[in-house]
C-alpha cells in the first residue's frame, strides 16, 4: 500500500560522519524518518530494529562492509527492501562483485548531489509502490 513520504523509514549506513549527517538532514527535511549507522554491524542491528523501507548503504565501513550488510538484508524473505549503494568505488569494482544484481541503484558519491540521491530514492520507492 502506497503511503506518503512522512511514513517512510530510511536507514543511512555511512561511516563518514559529515556525509551521513548531510544525507540525514536532506531526507529529514523532506519528511522521511531517518535512522543512521556508521558501522556495518550497527547497520544490521538497526535494520532489524527499525524495519526501514529503503536503505542507503556505503560499501567501505568498519567491522562489517556494505556487501555483508546487503547479504543480510537480502536474506530476509518476508519483505523486499530497496537498497541504494553509495560509494567512492567505481562501477567496475562493483560489477565484479556478486551483489551487483541485488541492489536497486549504485551511485558513486562524487557523481551525485545529496538532492539527486534523494530524488533517486523517491523514484525507487515509487517503482516499488511504497509511495505515490
Give 115-132 pLDDT, tens digit per residue: 999 999 999 999 988 887
What Rg do the C-alpha atoms of the chain give, in angstroms?
13
Only one residue has cell 532489524, namely: 48
pTM exceeds 0.85: yes
Q: Rounded distance, CA 77 to CA 74, Å?
A: 7
Q: Rounded distance, CA 53 to CA 17, Å?
A: 22
Which domains occur in the chain, in start order? 5-127 (3.40.50.2300)
- From residue 20, alpha-carbon distances to 63, 74, 94 in Å are 17, 23, 21
pLDDT tens track for 65-94: 998 999 889 887 788 899 999 888 765 555
Q: Is 2 helix (H, G, I), strand (E, B) or coil?
A: coil
Query: How sure is the predictor about 1, in pLDDT bands with cuts at 50, 70 and 90?
Result: very low
pLDDT tens track for 89-110: 765 555 555 555 578 998 888 8
Cell of 8: 517512510
Amino acid at each position: 500500500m502506497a503511503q506518503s513520504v512522512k511514513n517512510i523509514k530510511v536507514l543511512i549506513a555511512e561511516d563518514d560522519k559529515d556525509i551521513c549527517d548531510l544525507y540525514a538532514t536532506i531526507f529529514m527535511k523532506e519528511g522521511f524518518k531517518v535512522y543512521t549507522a556508521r558501522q556495518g554491524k550497527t547497520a544490521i542491528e538497526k535494520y532489524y530494529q527499525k524495519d526501514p523501507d529503503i536503505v542507503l548503504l556505503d560499501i567501505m565501513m568498519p567491522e562489517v562492509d556494505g556487501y555483508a550488510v546487503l547479504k543480510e538484508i537480502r536474506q530476509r524473505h518476508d519483505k523486499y527492501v530497496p537498497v541504494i549503494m553509495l560509494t567512492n568505488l567505481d562501477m567496475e569494482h562493483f560489477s565484479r562483485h556478486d551483489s551487483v544484481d541485488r541492489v536497486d541503484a549504485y551511485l558513486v558519491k562524487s557523481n551525485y548531489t545529496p538532492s539527486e540521491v534523494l530524488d533517486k530514492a523517491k523514484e525507487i520507492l515509487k517503482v516499488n509502490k511504497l509511495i505515490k
